[in-house]
Amino acid sequence: MIFLTGATDGLGRGLADRFAQAGEQLILHGRDRDKLDSTADEVSAKHGVDRPLTVLADLADLAQVRDLAAQVRQLTDRLDVFVSNAGIGSGLPDKRTRQTSHDGFELRFAVNYLAGFLLTLELVPLLKAAAPARIVNVASLGQHPLDFDDLMIEHGYNGTRAYGQSKLAQIMSGFELAQRLPAEDVTVNSLHPSTYMPTKMVLAEIGHQVDSLESGVDATYRLAADESLIGSTGKFFDRTREARANPQAYDASARAELWQRSLDLVGHAEPLV
């Protein structure tokens, strides 16, 4: 069973097609019921497979994230792959100004990072039940060091900094979780799928594409399915090439601080992973 967040647009939509084409059973997440239902119907009709299961949640609300995990647990007792893909960009179609989530956190940090962090912790038992399983975090080369004295960027805010911080946080927590989970049970890797793919948020903010959507789908699908990557964990990839993330990602004390701060922010006890 494959669980994919942000499945109704862009990269997530392309991945839904790729997994269905490979005959995988899918759980698709979205935040708009009509788009989610039409996506599931289209994937089923296009590939002649059973209709993917669907789960609905707004990742800007941690209560809905917890409910999302509960929905997934009701649908399956195991997950072979979790692709944490949902997110918002540095500007349009969302606002360029500082916004806060339902819980009062800086919005990009909340949606792009904290939601996936909490969801991952909630789903680890399902992943371990399917060992060897995989977690794939869709991150970015656009990374910005975290300022632990101003984690919610209340000073000097701009969308690019906020986006870059949220993506580096994804990578850092992925590295940290990879050290806590035996690679034979669950691997955890992050990637920059491609540069300026023609997704809704890229076209709204940048106005043009650089790489194709298919290249991003290929790179992400590889981390989820390539047999040569069995047991490979705690890595960051630029498309299909292993790469170096921002230096802060390799600072063990910074990763430990982010891990503890994240547990506190989402109200989760230290997991026995």
Residues taking part in catalysis:
163
Residue 94 vs residues 88, 97, 216, 251, 258: alpha-carbon distances, Å: 7, 9, 22, 32, 26
User: CA 139, CA 261: separation in Å to the nearest integer?
Assistant: 20
Report yes or no: 216 and 11 within 8 Å, Cβ to Cβ: yes
d(CA 166, CA 143): 8
Contact (Cβ atoms closer than 8 angstroms) between residue 121 and residue 115: no
Q: Of 206, 190, 211, 217, whose CA–CA distance to 9 is shortest?
A: 217
State which amino acid sits at residue 184. Answer: E
DSSP 50: P
Q: Which of 214, 191, 206 is nearest to 10 (CA)?
A: 214
Three-state secondary structure call for residue 106: strand
Identity of the amino acid at 88? I
Interstrand relation of 241-243 and 26-30 (parallel, antiparallel or unpaired)? unpaired
Other C-beta atoms within 10 Å of 233: how many? 22
